[in-house]
Amino acid sequence: MPTTLAEVARLVGGEVVGDGSTPITGVAGLREAVRGELTFLSNPKYEKYVRETSASAIIVGREFAGREAPNGVALLVADDPYEAMAIAMSAFAPEGDSLGPGVHETAVVSDGARIGDRASVGAHVVVGDGAIIGDGTAIHAGSYVGRDCTIGRDVVLYPRVTVRHGSVLGDRVVVHSGTVIGSDGFGFADAGHANTKVPQIGNVVIEDDVEIGSNVCIDRATLGSTRICRGSKIDNLVQVGHNVVVGEGSILVAQVGIAGSTKIGTGVVLGGQAGLVGHIEIGDGAMVGAQAGVTKSIPAGERVSGYPARRHATAKRLYALVENLPGLAKRLRELEARLRGLEEKANNAGDPPERREA
Amino acid sequence: MPTTLAEVARLVGGEVVGDGSTPITGVAGLREAVRGELTFLSNPKYEKYVRETSASAIIVGREFAGREAPNGVALLVADDPYEAMAIAMSAFAPEGDSLGPGVHETAVVSDGARIGDRASVGAHVVVGDGAIIGDGTAIHAGSYVGRDCTIGRDVVLYPRVTVRHGSVLGDRVVVHSGTVIGSDGFGFADAGHANTKVPQIGNVVIEDDVEIGSNVCIDRATLGSTRICRGSKIDNLVQVGHNVVVGEGSILVAQVGIAGSTKIGTGVVLGGQAGLVGHIEIGDGAMVGAQAGVTKSIPAGERVSGYPARRHATAKRLYALVENLPGLAKRLRELEARLRGLEEKANNAGDPPERREA
Amino acid sequence: MPTTLAEVARLVGGEVVGDGSTPITGVAGLREAVRGELTFLSNPKYEKYVRETSASAIIVGREFAGREAPNGVALLVADDPYEAMAIAMSAFAPEGDSLGPGVHETAVVSDGARIGDRASVGAHVVVGDGAIIGDGTAIHAGSYVGRDCTIGRDVVLYPRVTVRHGSVLGDRVVVHSGTVIGSDGFGFADAGHANTKVPQIGNVVIEDDVEIGSNVCIDRATLGSTRICRGSKIDNLVQVGHNVVVGEGSILVAQVGIAGSTKIGTGVVLGGQAGLVGHIEIGDGAMVGAQAGVTKSIPAGERVSGYPARRHATAKRLYALVENLPGLAKRLRELEARLRGLEEKANNAGDPPERREA
């Protein structure tokens, strides 16, 4: 862990403006930081807080380089202050839940399983027959890796993850606690009547560099594979149905639900609590708003929201119109009154003069 | 496992058209199948893919019997191709997570518990005092069965299921990983102020042949029982509140939430992410659309959707009207302009002639 | 456990009208109770059931004191019948999942952890290095308490709870099964493209007397703390994002989702499945309706509902107007027809007389 600003600067690749020997004991937000801490400014809209911060040093971008440092606060000028802060945060991170190397004495590992070099298997872990655990992979306490699973290198399964039989995880996959990978897809014929179970004999494939949050469910395919492609990130409590494919680098925010066989493109963002029906396709780079209910396929690059989900611009216009319904109803009532007035006038105009004077 | 098409035909009860000695190594979807695999056609809309499939054989219905088999592809004619495929899928299913018979040495089973014949209790399982585990039941690794629970025969609790004290599960119940049965109902008096806990002293009863997905929560009753009736199927991440009753053969799709004391009839289907308030009744055979927000009771056989949930036909009409609000607003503006025109004409008509010519 | 009505009366602080020696074997709802059971009437709307109940005794309020007891049914008159019933329920609660004192032999407790007096650590529990478990706290089977966690006194972690490193729980906190406290916040820079992970180096703080349901996720802060303040109650399957603060005594109903950095005031109620975007503030005493989608801050005391969430009164008016859209569209069509009629009349009126007669 670095102890001075100069050491942090060396680590993150930036230059100190001010006193490099300033002691740094941790990192914090601009408004929360106290003396001895390092903070950062990445969003110009928070620049006003720079003058108020109690931090000892601030990571700033190049555009800030010529500016005067606030009284007694040193600057660390970096090309990308956000990235610099991320590196500094990692350097000052408290020690997390870690595992010693090797297999814990309380773990139950099948003789038919293969555990890679430098891999760690924690307390009360179960590893099934035929499972392969890659080099450097850490399987934390209470996790379960079923029969014939293949787990790549440098994977982390945090405590109490369940990976059911035949699942395949690539390299550097991270799975948080309580998540279940490879439970049966929800397939019942004649729903609401006989509810006959359709066997679910496929598996789940999680490609490299995917991170999955807590208490997520990813069901195995009926036939073939449910697949989460390289670099996608899944937040907590998300439901991924059988035979779903999530393309590369997509983002699924918390509590999203995707019904069976839907295909998500690359670089898609699904907002929190959004729901997608089955058997549709979400084009590359599409964005689905929080809580949206997607009932049909979405072209690449489109942004949708609401229920049923429509183009976001349309949805916003419709919400504004709904908001204006009281005004619209009022205008309609006024029109009706004015029309009635005109009709009476017109009727009177057609009357013989003597009646008009009555 | 069968190895030829003739063997599969014997197993599923169908007839081969073509070469019965065709080797079969697995099953797959029509478009995904490769040489050596068996596939099936149950939906006529996919008939076009029959000509393109690389499968070695296709299960088809009787109506297909007279038709010519595609070049080099054998047919397996069955009365119910879907059911035949389900049987074939089970035959070719990869070996799943299984348990040896008896109690694993790392399991902690109370002396006061009773474990049935041919039952399996996996690694790190805990079975509380007074619990009864039925014959042939399999309790997978890391699951918890609390004090005085009664679990029926041939039940499967997959890894890391929690069944809290006093719960009753019938025969052939299946529960997937991470699910919690029998945690306290959410009962607090004077909500938002004192938040005084109301004791939750009832239990949960799960009847025969119910299947429950992953990371589901079914809360114990305040008094009496929360009950899931025979043959119902519950998808992942569903919330069932205290004192809820789900009738026979109902289907709860992923992420559904049911508040306390609501009664669901038989053969009801609740779409994904639907939410139901407490203390209402959903009639037999009713269908609730995905994401619907149900705020009052629904008669038997009714289909509802949207928020607040209305009859589906009404909801669709309203959505169409909302969609047309821009047009409606435009027509209103036009009416206003035309009416203004008429009013001016009418006013002018009433003016004395000399002014009109000004 | 009390065995007669007189004993129950002494326990709950009320007076018997009728036979105090009436044997009481349990408690149940007014309609479900059978002979030998005690029930209660707190809501006058259920008074009709008093005459039909099979219970042997009924807890009633003072306003009922002068009234005649139904035939053969004794009364227990209490100042607060609801509170009296809660006490009686606790007295008759079946024995729950309990733990012997001390550390179970299958638990794995780090030498560097400190376990308080009268604390219980159940089977297969893991307690990390530097963790502190308070006096009288019960950690049930299969739970995980990570490195450097601080757990207060008389806390209950039910089976299979995960508390990740550095989390702080106050006194008398209750956490139900499957819940995950302190997994990484969902922070990725350049979402949908590079998806670069932002380190999550903060923690979670749960204050005294908080109760958390099953399969809940509370993420650690990026920097600083995610905080659930004193006396708040969280239902099952709720998502609390990083750096969220939930004020004192608030209620989060099942399946609520709160995105990062949002601040919830004191005494707030969030209805089931409600979703809140990040970086907003919900004022003290505000109420958010079930399934509402909250997209901006809400003032104290306000009640909102719908998507996007609006003041509840406004939302109800808008829903009524949407419901009336068919009528509004019809009135518009009628206006158009009448206006057309008037316009034709007006045009004709302007025509020379000879053409009019054509």
pLDDT band at C48 (very low <50, low <70, confident <90, very high): confident
User: Does A324 contact chain C (CB < 8 Å)?
Assistant: no
Three-class secondary structure of residue B288 per DSSP: strand
> Which chains pack against B, by 3+ Cβ pairs within 8 A?
A, C
pLDDT band at C31 (very low <50, low <70, confident <90, very high): confident
In chain B, pLDDT over 90 holds for what percent of residues? Answer: 77
pLDDT of residue C47: 81
List chain C residues with CB under 8 Å of A267: 192-193
* CA–CA gap between residue C171 and residue A174 (Å, rounded): 32
pLDDT of residue C191: 63
Chain B closest-CA separation from residue A190 CA (Å): 10
Tracing tokens 């009360």 back to the chain, one arrives at: A124
Q: What is the pLDDT of residues B293-349, one digit of tens each?
A: 999 999 999 999 999 999 999 999 999 999 999 999 999 999 999 989 888 887 776
Contact assignment for A142 to C124 by CB distance below 8 Å: yes
What backbone phi and psi angles, to 5 degrees, belong to C39?
A: -135, -170
Contact assignment for B259 to C272 by CB distance below 8 Å: yes
Chain B closest-CA separation from residue C13 CA (Å): 18
Of A186, A223, A322, the CB nearest to B29: A223
Residues 34-73 of chain B with CB under 8 A from chain C are: none
Coarse DSSP helix, strand, coil percentages of chain A, rounded to the nearest 5 percent: 20, 25, 55
What value does the mean pLDDT take over residues B67-77?
A: 81
Q: Which long-range contacts (CB under 8 A, 24 or more apart) does A225-233 make?
A: A225/A168, A226/A185, A226/A202, A228/A204, A229/A266, A230/A170, A231/A207, A231/C195, A232/A207, A232/C195, A233/C186, A233/C188, A233/C191, A233/C195
* CA–CA gap between residue C252 and residue C213 (Å, rounded): 10
B-to-C residue pairs, Cβ atoms closer than 8 angstroms: 206
Which stretches within chain B are classed as H helix?
5-12, 81-92, 312-323, 325-350, 353-356
Three-class secondary structure of residue C39 per DSSP: strand
Q: What separation in angstroms does the CA of A345 have from each of A50, B337, B347?
A: 71, 19, 10
Catalytic residue among C165, C242, C279, C312: C242
What is the number of alpha carbons within 13 Å of residue C2 lying toward its C-beta?
25
Contact assignment for C236 to B219 by CB distance below 8 Å: yes
Chain C residue whose CA is closest to A87: C199
Contact assignment for C165 to A94 by CB distance below 8 Å: yes
List chain B residues with CB under 8 Å of A196: 83, 86
| Cβ contact B190:B172 at 8 Å | no
pLDDT of residue A39: 94
Chain A residue whose CA is closest to C340: A339
- Is residue C272 pLDDT above 80, yes or no? yes
* CA–CA gap between residue B267 and residue C49 (Å, rounded): 30
Nearest to A257 by CA among C324, B235, B28: B235
Amino acid identity at A36:
G
Residues 187-246 of chain B with CB under 8 A from chain C are: 188-189, 191-199, 201, 203, 215, 217, 219, 222-224, 237, 239, 241
Chain A closest-CA separation from residue B258 CA (Å): 16
- Is residue B44 pLDDT above 80, yes or no? no
pLDDT of residue B69: 67
- Is residue B67 pLDDT above 80, yes or no? no
Chain C closest-CA separation from residue B118 CA (Å): 24
Contact assignment for B192 to C28 by CB distance below 8 Å: no
Contact assignment for A268 to C192 by CB distance below 8 Å: yes
Of B160, B213, B325, the CB nearest to A162: B160
Contact assignment for A165 to B306 by CB distance below 8 Å: no
Chain C residue whose CA is closest to A34: C224
Which position has the higher pLDDT, C213 or B46? C213
User: Does A335 contact chain B (CB < 8 Å)?
Assistant: yes
State the best of A140, A180, A273 to mutate against chain C, taking most chain C CBs within 10 Å. A273
* CA–CA gap between residue C341 and residue A200 (Å, rounded): 66
Q: What is the pLDDT of residues B163-176, one digit of tens each?
A: 999 999 999 999 99
Tracing tokens 């306490």 back to the chain, one arrives at: A141
pLDDT of residue B4: 96
State the best of B34, B104, B106, B215 to mutate against chain A, taking most chain A CBs within 10 Å. B215
User: Does B321 contact chain C (CB < 8 Å)?
Assistant: yes
Chain B closest-CA separation from residue C181 CA (Å): 15
pLDDT band at B194 (very low <50, low <70, confident <90, very high): confident
Q: What is the pLDDT of residues B244-257, one digit of tens each?
A: 999 999 999 999 99
Which position has the higher pLDDT, C46 or B147? B147
List chain C residues with CB under 8 Å of B349: 349
Window from B40-49, B82-91, B234-243, C303-312 with minimum mean pLDDT: B40-49
pLDDT of residue B302: 98
pLDDT band at B83 (very low <50, low <70, confident <90, very high): confident
Chain A closest-CA separation from residue C335 CA (Å): 7
Report the complex ipTM: 0.93
pLDDT in tens, chain A (358 residues): 899 999 999 999 999 999 999 999 999 988 889 999 999 987 777 888 888 889 999 999 888 776 766 778 999 999 988 889 999 999 999 999 888 889 999 999 999 999 999 999 999 999 999 999 999 999 999 999 999 999 999 999 999 999 999 999 999 999 999 999 999 999 987 766 678 899 999 999 999 999 999 999 999 999 999 999 999 999 999 999 999 999 999 999 999 999 999 999 999 999 999 999 999 999 999 999 999 999 999 999 999 999 999 999 999 999 999 999 999 999 999 999 998 988 888 777 655 555 544 4
In chain C, pLDDT over 70 holds for what percent of residues? Answer: 95
Window from A102-111, B38-47, B91-100, B295-304 with minimum mean pLDDT: B38-47
pLDDT of residue B353: 53
State the best of B104, B110, B126, B319 to mutate against chain C, taking most chain C CBs within 10 Å. B126
Chain B closest-CA separation from residue A103 CA (Å): 16
Residues 294-313 of chain B with CB under 8 A from chain A are: 306-307
pLDDT of residue A192: 61
List chain B residues with CB under 8 Å of A328: 328-329, 332
Of B217, B307, B342, the CB nearest to C342: B342
pLDDT of residue A351: 58
